[in-house]
Each structure stands twice: as structure tokens, then as C-alpha cells.
Amino acid sequence: MSIRGVGMILTFIIAVQHFGVIAQNLPIVGVPTFAFVDPVTPNLANQVTEYALSLLKNSGRYTIVDMTSEDQRKIALERAQENYKSENWIDSYKAMNAEVILSGEITSIKFVKINHDLQPGYRAAITLTLKLIEVETSKILASTNIATKTSELRLTPETALASSLDGINENILLFFKDNLSQVFPILKINEVKKDQVVNFTCQIPTVLKIEIGKRFHIVHYELLGEKRIPQMIGEAKLSKHIAEDYWLMTVVSGEKELYKYKDQLTEILCSEK
């Protein structure tokens, strides 16, 4: 690596330390066990919940708070109590620092048993409702109904259900992506010309696999009373991967507005469009 390259990386490390940026600035999603209209089959509800948990974790786009068991709930509460200073924390999700809750209700799971001498087994289909609920306000941010196609033939009901769920993974991820925007910190203004910002360094987890050229909103958070109100001040596009989770962003619009807030970078974020 060239001396210049080493110098650039050191600059970014210093910037991270200076602004105290969290390495993975991801939405925190709490996932309790999905509800099921048929109480005699809780194992199936658990299987669907575990599928959703695994899908969201593996996407790399969210920080997941696992609430699927009492043990997991207690661990999360103990971990979060030091950071949660409110006197009134009736809502346990707030105490666990979750920002959004994924609420799931399984409305039906249908199995068809195939009694065939050559290949006996099961087929399955499921319908469910998903809701994203904002913890602070209890507001429902979005909801969707999802129905799977009948699965391929499998040996057991559980494997048939798993096969059916595999057909809706893209639906679940798209539901999240469309309704839960991710934001990324601006670490350093790199180039300025005539009181206009040309480019800056942004921190985006590489696991998200965001393509070069993708555009983001530049958002300034203004404190009004006790609330931080987002205001879009421009746009930027992903131009170059520098190192690890550090990316070069080129300002497309709002160059002068961003310059006005160049000394308030902790109040500015890049947001997915």
C-alpha cells in the first residue's frame, strides 16, 4: 500500500474516533414470537419466527433484538438497562433499545398429506400479516399480508413449511427495505470549492453490498423542542470504496447547504432514498 493510501486510512480512523461513530449504524429491530390463531401448534409459530429472525440477521441490514424466549428477553433487558435512563420504562422494548418491532400474526398454515407409494410426504402453504411498529410512539409504520404458494413435496410437515417460507424471503426483505430506511454517518468533508462541498467520507457497512452510483438523501436533523426533525438538504451518490466500511460520496445537489453545516457533522446523515 502506498504512503498516500496509509495516510488516507489513518485520517478516516481519526475521524471515526473524533465523532464517536458506532461501527454498525443499523436500525434496531425487536422480534417477539409471532402470534398464531391456532394455539395448539406453537412449534409452528416458533419455526416461522426463527425463519424471520435468521433472514433478517443474515441480511446484515439490521441489528436484531431476539425476544423469542423468556431467557432471551431477560438477557436483552439486563444488557440494555445500563443504557436506558428513563424513569418510566413500562415498555420493555424501550428498555432493550429496540427502535422498531416486527409484529407477526400467522393467519393460517395448511398442510396436504400425499399418500403415494413412490414418494409420500407433505406440501404446505402459509399466510401471515407483518407489521412494523415504532417503539417510541407505538405507531404502526407499515403492514403487509403475505401468502406463500404451495410448497414442494417434503418428507415432514416442518420441512414442507420451511420450503414454503423460502418462497417469500424476498417479500419479507422488500417489505423492510421499502418501509425502514437506513441512515449512515458522514465522517469527514474531503473537498470544498467556493463554499460548496464536493465530496465527503461516509460509513456504510460493506455487508450491505450497495452498488457504486446509488444515490442517497443528505439529511440534517434539527432540534425543535425535544425532537430531532429531519430535513433533506441535498443528494449524494456512492462514488468509490476506500477501505473497510468507508466510502467516498460525491455531492449531487445541496453543495452549499451541506457547507453551512460542515461543522455539525454529527447532526447530518445519509439516508437511503
Together in a domain, 101 and 222: no
Say yes or no: 166 and 230 in one domain.
Answer: no
Tally of structural domains, the chain: 2
20-23 LR contacts (CB < 8 Å, sep 24+): 21/185, 21/187, 21/203, 23/203, 23/245
Whether residue 102 is found in the same domain as residue 233:
no
Which of 116, 150, 179 is the last residue in one of the domains? 179
Does one domain contain both 59 and 134?
yes
Buried b (16+ CB within 10 A) or exposed e, 92-125: bbbbbbbbbbbbbbbeebebeeeeeeeeebbbbb
Tell me what pLDDT residue 254 has: 93
Check residue 233 and give its pLDDT. 93
Output the pLDDT for position 124. Answer: 92
**So what's the pLDDT on residue 86?**
43
CATH of the domain at 122: 3.40.50.10610
The last residue of a domain, from among 114, 147, 179? 179
Give this prediction's pTM. 0.69
pLDDT of residue 146: 92
**Inter-residue contact 215 to 252 (CB < 8 Å):** yes
Looking at the fold, whether 261 and 192 belong to one and the same domain comes out as: yes
Q: Are residues 174 and 204 in the same domain?
A: no
- Position 260 scores a pLDDT of 93
Whether residue 266 is found in the same domain as residue 147:
no
| Among the listed residues 88, 63, 87, 89, the one whose alpha carbon sits nearest the alpha carbon of residue 77 | 89
Domain identity same for 86 and 140 = yes
**Separate counts of helices (H) and strands (E) for the chain:** 7, 12
Domain with residue 12: its CATH number is 2.40.30
- Give strand ranges (E) for the chain: 28-32, 35-36, 63-67, 100-114, 121-134, 140-147, 183-193, 196-203, 215-224, 227-243, 246-253, 268-272
Examine the domain organization and report whether 9 and 69 are in the same domain. Answer: no
pLDDT tens, the chain, 273 aa long? 444 443 433 333 333 333 333 334 678 898 888 888 776 577 888 889 999 999 998 888 888 888 876 665 565 555 555 444 444 333 445 545 678 889 899 988 899 998 877 778 999 999 999 999 988 788 899 999 999 889 989 999 999 999 999 988 889 989 998 888 888 889 999 999 999 999 999 998 887 888 999 999 999 988 777 777 889 999 999 999 999 889 999 999 999 999 999 998 888 999 887
Nearest residue to 200 (alpha-carbon basis) of 247, 267, 256: 247
Residues 97 and 147 in one domain: yes
Last residue of a domain, one of 145, 179, 213: 179
- Give the model's pLDDT for residue 33: 86
